[in-house]
Each structure stands twice: as C-alpha cells, then as structure tokens.
Amino acid sequence: MKQTIPFNKPYLTGQEVQYIEQAIRSGKISGDGRFTKLCKAFLEQRLAAQKVLLTTSCTDALELSALLLDLQPDDEVIMPAFTYVGTANAFVLRGAKIVFADSTAQNPNLDVTGLERLVTPRTRAIVPVHYAGIACDMDPVLKVAHRYQLTVVEDAAQGIESFYKGQPLGTIGAVGAFSFHETKNVTAGEGGLLAVNDLQKAARAEIMRENGTNRSSFFRGEVDKYTWVDVGSSFLPSDMIAAYLWAQLEQLDAIQHRRIAIWQRYFDGLEGLSALGVGLPVVPEYATNNGHIFYVVCRSLAERSALIEHMRSLHISLAFHYLALHKSPYFANKHDGRALPWADRYTDCLVRLPLYYELGVEDQQRVVEGLLSFYGC
C-alpha cells in the first residue's frame, strides 16, 4: 500500500527544540524575552515596518488592530466574505457591523471594482485579505480609503514574503496581521504578528498589547513606573513560542525557495486543466507568489467532492477551504441580501493540494497524475 500524502506537514529545521530549551534555561519564558526580540528585529528589517509586535495568533493581531480603531456599535467594516472567521470575529467583538464584499473572478481576493458602493457614513475600515499569499489590488483600496478617511487593515495571514508592486504585504495599510499557524510557510504552531505602519498607532498598539499598560516604556527606562493608561489585553506569546519561530525565520530563504519550486511544479504539471474549464491560481502582474497555497477551482461542488474522493482512494489528502461567511449560521440573517456569486463559487469549488517543505518530487508527481487521471488527461 502506498503511503498517504498528507495535506500539510509542519517543517522542522532542527533547531526548534534546542532554542526552546535555551529559552527555558534562561529563566525568562514569558513574553518579550530574548527570542521574541530576535524575531522582532528580523521581521522589522524584513518588512521595513515602523514596528512589529509578536502576538499569540493572527486572530489576536486582528483583534489588536480592531482595538486601535476605537470602533463604536454599528460602525461598519468591509471585508471579503470568502475568508477565515477570525477576520470577521476580531471586529464583531468590538461591536462592528460587517459588510461583506464579493471575490473576483480571477482569484478569491476582494473585488475592488465594487468596493466604493459598499461605503456608507458608518464605514470605518476596509480589511483586504491576501488569499494564498497573492496580493489584493491595493491601489484602488487605498484610493477609496483616502477618499472616505478609512483605515486599511491588511489580513496578511498567508502573506509572509509576498509583495504588491515591490512592497511587502502587511505594510501597505495602516496595520497588517500575519499568521505563524502550523499550516503557514513559517510556523510556531500558533503565533502571529502585527505590523504597524503608522507611528501614532505604533505607540498605542504597544500599550494595548500589554493590557493597556506602558510596561515596555518602563523597561526601556522612558518612564519611572508602569501603569494602566489605555484599554488592552494580553496578546504576548511566550518566549518558547518565539524560540520555535526563530528557528524557522533563520531558514526563511530556504523555506521560500523550496515552497515556490513546489508551487511552480504544480502549475507546470496542471496547466492543461485550464482548457477544460478548471481554474488554476492567477498571479496578477502587480503581485508575487510566496508558495503558500496551490489550489484548483473545480467546475461544480459535485465535481470537487468526487475529486476529493478519487484522490483519497489514491492515498492523497486534499482540502477545501472557507465556507463564505455571509451564508454562515451566525451571519446569514445579518447579511443585507446581496448576491456574492464568486464567494459562493470558491466555497463550493476550490480545493487545495498538498504543499509543504518536505513534499518530494515523486510524491508531488503522484498528486499531479492523480488529478490528471480524474480529468481524463
């Protein structure tokens, strides 16, 4: 029997356990220890952001960004319906009303052509999601945001090492949130990052991240005591999480090189499916590909279900992705009734292929041949 090819397998560089042990032996395993500082310095340089703050998850980074907005009940936040529930929950928890936008025909990113029609006097923010690490078209988003004085919060959970017109994702809006979940290119099991690109927001974000206190300023010697100065919560990851992440960041270039090569082999091997009406990822000229997800868009829900079952019979694991949030049990009766056909299509038809650092050429060829055999190619 052939060994099953999993959908995902977290990559170990070999230094994770050693660094975690160092963190434990240091006696400083709470937040903002040595490894947190190493990760922070590396990512601030890599992203060229005003400030980066490690968090316990990308959801926490988004919740911190929502706190920075000082949202009032019924303030509106625009985001794509085809996204993870954490994107919406961060703002719902602050009392915001979510206004869902459709995806594009080209890819699951937010449809910027209809964005301005969704703006009302209650709109406070736009949250573009860079699906599969491929940039949303940010210039039109920024243009609408500037016209109506809105804050842009980038959900760059999947966007590490990807760019829009040469600028790192997550550094284009006022703030950007990243994920280091075990399914991401670099991982800490869980973990996240808030990149802050506005100096005024940077100072406040640091305070909110530590229960609304000026604790960091105290430890830098900027104040003689620390106290409660704003609202906030505890978003700091332990230094053991940062130690794991540091082992990954040290190998970031190698990880990216390998994942992009795997992505490209998929594209080259499956390119012929587009002639059958099966969708493949589209990387616009303004965007780059960071090798995070390779997906195909089947022609129907029934076809996707059959494909997943076919691949399972070959001991290959595929995974569909989000169920569009505008039709979720929680939100269905809150949605304004607009049809979002492309969000629905990706919900029903998008399926992700195995993509992880240790996916060998032979196993990847099994995946490609399995798909081609399903479609009779």
pLDDT at 215 (0 to 100): 78
Better-scored residue on pLDDT, 215 or 93 = 93
Per-chain mean pLDDT for the chain: 95
Is 50's pLDDT higher than 80? yes
Q: What is the pLDDT, as a whole number, of residue 218?
A: 62
Q: Strand pairing partners for 66?
A: none
Whether 359 has a pLDDT exceeding 80, the answer reads yes
Categorize the per-residue pLDDT at 113 as very low, low, confident or very high, splitting at 50, 70 and 90: very high
Q: Is the pLDDT of residue 219 over 80?
A: no
**pLDDT band at residue 51 using 50, 70 and 90 as cut-offs:** very high
The string of DSSP letters for 282-340 reads ---TTB---S---EEE-SSHHHHHHHHHHHHHTTB--EE-PPPGGGSTTTTTTS-----
Count Cα neighbours of 322 within 13 Å in the Cβ-side half-sphere: 25
Residue 224: pLDDT over 80: no
Query: What is the DSSP annotation of 204-259?
Result: HHHHHHBTTB-HHHHHTTSSSS--B-S---B-PPPHHHHHHHHHHHTTHHHHHHHH
CATH number for the region 16-249 comes to 3.40.640.10
Per residue in 291-322, pLDDT tens? 999 999 999 999 999 999 999 999 999 999 99
**pLDDT value at position 74?**
87
Binned at pLDDT 50, 70 and 90, residue 221 comes out as low
Measured between alpha carbons, how far is residue 363 from residues 33, 262, 287, 297 in Å? 40, 11, 29, 21
| Predicted pLDDT at 364 | 98
CATH 3.40.640.10 location in the chain: 16-249
Q: At what angle do helices 16-26 and 239-249 cross, to 10 degrees?
A: 150
Q: What is the pLDDT of residue 222?
A: 77
Is residue 38 within 8 Å of residue 351, measured between CB atoms? no
What's the CA gap between 289 and 281, in Å, rounded?
A: 10
Percent of the chain with pLDDT strictly greater than 90: 89
Instruction: Report whether pLDDT(287) > 70.
Output: yes
Domain(s) of CATH 3.90.1150.10: residues in the chain: 252-374
Higher pLDDT among residues 317 and 200, named by residue: 317
Q: Is the pLDDT of residue 288 over 70?
A: yes
What number is the average pLDDT over the span 126-155? 98
117 pLDDT higher than 80: yes
Q: Please report the pLDDT score of residue 1 as a whole number.
A: 65
For a pLDDT cut of 70, what percent of the chain falls above it? 99
The tens digit of pLDDT for each residue in 344-355 reads 999 999 999 999
pLDDT per residue as tens digits for the range 238-267? 999 999 999 999 999 999 999 999 999 999
For residue 132, what is the DSSP state? G
Q: Distance between CA atoms of 146 and 10, rounded to whole angstroms? A: 40
**What is the CATH code for 252-374?**
3.90.1150.10
| Mean pLDDT within 326-345 | 96
Q: What is the pLDDT of residue 255?
A: 98
What would the mean pLDDT of 102-127 be, rounded to a whole number?
Answer: 97
pLDDT tens for 4-26 read 999 999 999 999 999 999 999 99
Number of Cβ within a 10 Å radius of residue 316: 22
C-alpha gyration radius of the chain: 21
